[in-house]
Amino acid sequence: MHLTLDRQSPTPLVQQLTNQLQTWIEHQRLRPGTRLPSIRTLARDQAISASCVIEAYDRLVASGWLEARHGTGFFVAERKPGLAQQDQPVWGEAGDGTWRQFREGHDNLLKLGCGWLPSNWRADTDLAHAIRQVSRGNPQDLFDYCPPLGLASLRQHIYKRLVQLGINAGPERILTTHGASHALDLLVRALLNPGDTVLVENPGYYNLYNLLRQHQVHMLPVPRTQTGPDLQVLERLLAEHRPRCLFINSLYQNPTGTSMSPQVAYRLLELAREHGLRIIEDDIYADFQDGPATRLATLDSAQQVIYMASFSKTLSSSLRVGYVVADAPLLARLAELKMVSGIGTSRFVEQVVGQMLANGSYRKSVQRLRVRLAQHMAKLLGQLEQYGWQVFCEPYGGMFVWARVPGRDFASLERLAVEHGVLLTPGSAFDYQGASSEWLRINVAYGQDHRAQAFLQHAGRPPSA
Amino acid sequence: MHLTLDRQSPTPLVQQLTNQLQTWIEHQRLRPGTRLPSIRTLARDQAISASCVIEAYDRLVASGWLEARHGTGFFVAERKPGLAQQDQPVWGEAGDGTWRQFREGHDNLLKLGCGWLPSNWRADTDLAHAIRQVSRGNPQDLFDYCPPLGLASLRQHIYKRLVQLGINAGPERILTTHGASHALDLLVRALLNPGDTVLVENPGYYNLYNLLRQHQVHMLPVPRTQTGPDLQVLERLLAEHRPRCLFINSLYQNPTGTSMSPQVAYRLLELAREHGLRIIEDDIYADFQDGPATRLATLDSAQQVIYMASFSKTLSSSLRVGYVVADAPLLARLAELKMVSGIGTSRFVEQVVGQMLANGSYRKSVQRLRVRLAQHMAKLLGQLEQYGWQVFCEPYGGMFVWARVPGRDFASLERLAVEHGVLLTPGSAFDYQGASSEWLRINVAYGQDHRAQAFLQHAGRPPSA
């Protein structure tokens, strides 16, 4: 393959590569099914970054020129009608790598930075069993719309869980959603207007940043420390900018893995009361925790805290079930928005989740996950130290470690990662402005894979070196 | 029960009734499980409308005071924590009856105006079978996130269906959604800004009106005639207001059941080209039709038309699967919005629908529905004439007849309906401003139920009378 990439051109390299690959496929009249060079090979041959090749292949998959096949690479696609357009924008063009993990076609790379557990860790027999039970049960669950607040039986089970966590809210204050991001979207639509200002944790959840930008809401970053948000910065921002609300993970924060200390939590609630700040506590990693933990919603006596969580991390990302707990006026507004923007959630999947909460299989499977994650976390933390990585904080639990090799930038880490068959999520994705970062989010569940081990070991700088 | 309702009070009757019922439950220390009077009895005893009782019971269910039990009525609920608030707003307070059909607690009434088929008409064994197959298949379908555009195999099947309809768009131009209302929400978010002006059909789909209002978009109503939108009005509005887009059902329009004629369709597309108008064609009833039909997306050569549909009406409202077909730049934007506002759709349910498209069970079940609907439609049209109802148009197919008894207002029809155990959806729900109307949307699938028959017969004014 002969490609001429012009590094002086105003056209970005990714676009040049995409166009030339497309032209090459056309001119060579390559037959459907022809295999393209691997990411590593093409990057090396053209002396470009692996990111650039990944992005170009992604665009060609999205526009229908290439097909990604499970675990084996990228192939010329069957030609489809309506594919003649050149330069059509494809999904995720803005491409900061944020969404890369969700795209098809990188099944052959180990997604070391992704935000979910491997399929083979999941409670597959239990979930499949619950699905089959519901399929044989009440036909309404197969066919009917879900009530606005969500399925009553599921909300009842969620209520029982809230009681265990010490959160004082009856089933009438619980609204189900298509996962946590949908809950965030409903909250942003209900609470904020374009031009409003809010506080976000930095680093933090990239899809929250995207969502707030989408709504033209200004973000003020509060640095995340080992024990929660930096209260000095927060207090100053409260006084200067009077932000509407704060979005926060108390437990196992994404991406740093840190958990809030009781001292920070109390002071944060005090500040919230003083300044009339609403807090949106995203407790999506809640069920990875056992025993006492610090949650704002538990400590909250003044109803400053809106609580939300989901089953995507612990049970299934495929089903899309989450929920939000709010005061009655806000909940009524959220329910209205939920109906207007999609006529509710899926009754079938809510019944399936309810079933697993009812028969105890969810509880048992989460217990197994906790033990397994704790073992992987302990092991990886030891290895990272040994390999010469620095961690931001040793998490109590959860999935994520925030780590770096001081002095090694993302480009150099990524080159090495692709050589070892590993796909990283850039640290810049977790910065509210996309600023580049040496830090990486590492999902401990993938840390013992031989590719991850080889990459981590090669990338590290052991003290002895 | 002694209630004192004050018709001169500034507090609406519904609110008075809600408050007094709540006080009564408290003061009488009624035990959980105590049954409340039926809607009909309470309405008669207090000389108030059935609507008023329905609304009050709904509010008390939503706020946790009452429980609705399948088919048997309303009962005092178990007391829940956090229920002490008086006057808390509950979901759907604005209450024009629009959402009544989605609420829990009217299972004992026949929903003659609802927008879905009875459960026992549905392909339950086929759907349950597909669900069980997927539960035994690829574990990715149980656990993983769905790619941004939706599951590739489902999009491939939808593409084949589009080919049959003569719509020229490859799989790369199809995006899956949580049903049609979610598709509308994504489109409104991508295409419109607050203050923009659009054309809507009147009467039309109430949730579209709600959605546009939610987005602060101005609506200009185009009357729906027997053959499509009123082109004279439309042409005038185009010239005067330069609206951004038009939302339309070509086939079996909701609520009138009318279908667009080819002449109207051609002229509409001409006007759209001249005025740079985008058309959003909501073809949600498409699969109820067999043989030739007039669709804008089929005739469209200038890419003015954005096409969308769903499986909610024909297969299952519980699963929440729909899709939108758009040009590449718009589709990329929609995919981004879909990810930002909820990280995609459910891979599991998309695999289930794909399975039913693949094995032919969807096609067969829709064929059965078509025959059954056609029989029910023919029978009901004959009966309506005989009973002295007037229909707006005799639909070729679909679920809906738009009918009235000249001179009979909604309040009088509703009183009669509740007496016969029938719940109506008010015609005002289908007016873009909620204007009261004599017209009713009747779902023919429920028309042969003895309660519907008794109501229709009593309400009608036969020519002989």
B333-360 pLDDT per residue, tens: 999 999 999 999 999 999 999 999 999 9
pLDDT, residue A393, reads: 95
Enumerate the domain spans of chain B: 13-108, 124-360, 364-459
pLDDT, residue A157, reads: 94
In the structure, what pLDDT confidence band is assigned to residue B98 with cuts at 50, 70 and 90? low
The partner residue sitting opposite A104, judged by closest CB among B80, B147, B345, is: B147
Most confidently modeled range among A99-108, B44-53, B58-67, B332-341:
B332-341
Cα of B135 to nearest chain A Cα, Å: 5
pLDDT, residue A236, reads: 97
Q: Evaluate the omega torsion of the peptide bond into residue A203 and state whether it is cis, within 30 degrees of 0.
A: yes
pLDDT, residue A82, reads: 43
Chain B residues 206-225 within an 8 A CB cutoff of chain A = 207, 210-211, 214
Average of pLDDT values for B239-258? 96
CATH assignment of B13-108?
A: 1.10.10.10
Chain A residues 242-281 within an 8 A CB cutoff of chain B = none
Nearest to A418 by CA among A368, A459, A373: A459
For residue A461, the 8-state DSSP code is -
Judge: A210–B340 Cβ closer than 8 Å, yes or no. yes
- Structure-token match 């131009």, residue found: B173
Chain B residues 358-397 within an 8 A CB cutoff of chain A = none
Calpha distance A287→A367 (Å, rounded): 9
Chain A residues 336-365 within an 8 A CB cutoff of chain B = 336-337, 339-349
A140 touches chain B (CB under 8 A): yes
- Structure-token match 């149980």, residue found: B142
Judge: A211–B340 Cβ closer than 8 Å, yes or no. yes
Judge: A64–B170 Cβ closer than 8 Å, yes or no. yes
Q: Is residue B75 pLDDT above 90, yes or no? A: no
Same fold, A124-360 and A364-459: no
Ordered DSSP codes for A44-86? HHHT--HHHHHHHHHHHHHTTSEEEETTTEEEEPPP-TT---S
Q: Which residue of B has its CA nearest to A124?
A: B139
Calpha distance B86→A325 (Å, rounded): 19
Judge: B318–A116 Cβ closer than 8 Å, yes or no. no
Cα of B107 to nearest chain A Cα, Å: 12
pLDDT, residue B279, reads: 98
Which architecture characterizes domain A364-459 according to CATH? Alpha-Beta Complex (3.90)
Average of pLDDT values for B144-170? 92
Judge: B102–A139 Cβ closer than 8 Å, yes or no. no
B185-227 per-position pLDDT tens digit: 999 999 999 999 999 999 999 999 999 999 999 999 999 999 9
Largest CA distance in chain B: 69
Judge: B319–A348 Cβ closer than 8 Å, yes or no. yes
Q: Are A427 and A203 in contact (CB under 8 A)?
A: yes
Calpha distance B85→B83 (Å, rounded): 6
A145 touches chain B (CB under 8 A): yes
Cα of A101 to nearest chain B Cα, Å: 10
Q: Which residue of B has its CA nearest to A115?
A: B145
How many residue pairs from chains A and B have C-beta atoms closer than 8 A? 270
Average of pLDDT values for B256-271? 96
Calpha distance A443→A376 (Å, rounded): 10
- Structure-token match 């090799």, residue found: A405
Q: Work out the angle at residue A334's Cα, subtended by the Cα atoms of residues B414 and A189, and round it to the nearest 5 degrees.
A: 125
Judge: B349–A344 Cβ closer than 8 Å, yes or no. no
Q: Are B321 and B345 in contact (CB under 8 A)?
A: yes
Q: Are B261 and B296 in contact (CB under 8 A)?
A: no
Chain A residues 149-188 within an 8 A CB cutoff of chain B = 149, 152, 159, 168-173, 177-179, 181-182, 185
Q: Which of B119, B133, B142 to mutate to test the interface with A (most CBs of A within 10 A)?
A: B142
Name the 3-class secondary structure at A34: coil
pLDDT tens, N- to C-terminus, chain A (465 residues): 778 888 888 888 888 888 888 888 877 777 888 888 888 888 888 888 888 888 888 888 877 788 877 667 888 887 643 444 434 444 444 444 556 666 656 667 899 999 999 888 887 789 999 999 999 999 889 999 999 999 999 999 999 999 989 998 999 999 999 999 999 999 999 999 999 999 999 999 999 999 999 999 999 999 999 999 999 999 999 999 999 999 999 999 999 999 999 999 999 999 999 999 999 999 999 889 877 789 999 998 778 899 999 999 999 999 999 999 999 999 999 999 999 999 999 999 999 999 999 999 999 999 999 999 999 999 999 999 999 999 999 998 999 999 999 999 999 999 899 999 999 999 999 999 999 999 999 999 999 999 999 999 999 987 665
Q: Phi and psi (nearest 5°) for A280?
A: -105, 110
CATH assignment of A124-360?
A: 3.40.640.10
Name the 3-class secondary structure at B176: strand
Q: Phi and psi (nearest 5°) for B207?
A: -70, -25
Judge: B318–A142 Cβ closer than 8 Å, yes or no. yes
Judge: A342–B140 Cβ closer than 8 Å, yes or no. no
Calpha distance A305→A315 (Å, rounded): 25
The partner residue sitting opposite B341, judged by closest CB among A139, A185, A349, is: A185
Average of pLDDT values for B389-397? 95
Cα of A207 to nearest chain B Cα, Å: 6
Average of pLDDT values for B24-31? 77
Residues of chain A in contact with residue B335, where contact means CB-CB under 8 angstroms, are: 91-92
In the structure, what pLDDT confidence band is assigned to residue B119 with cuts at 50, 70 and 90? confident
| Distance (Å) of CA A419 to CA A98, A104, A414, A428, B373 | 21, 20, 8, 21, 60
Comparing A200-209, A236-245, B123-132, B376-385, which segment has the lowest mean pLDDT?
A: B123-132
For residue A65, the 8-state DSSP code is S
Calpha distance A337→B99 (Å, rounded): 12
pLDDT, residue B81, reads: 36
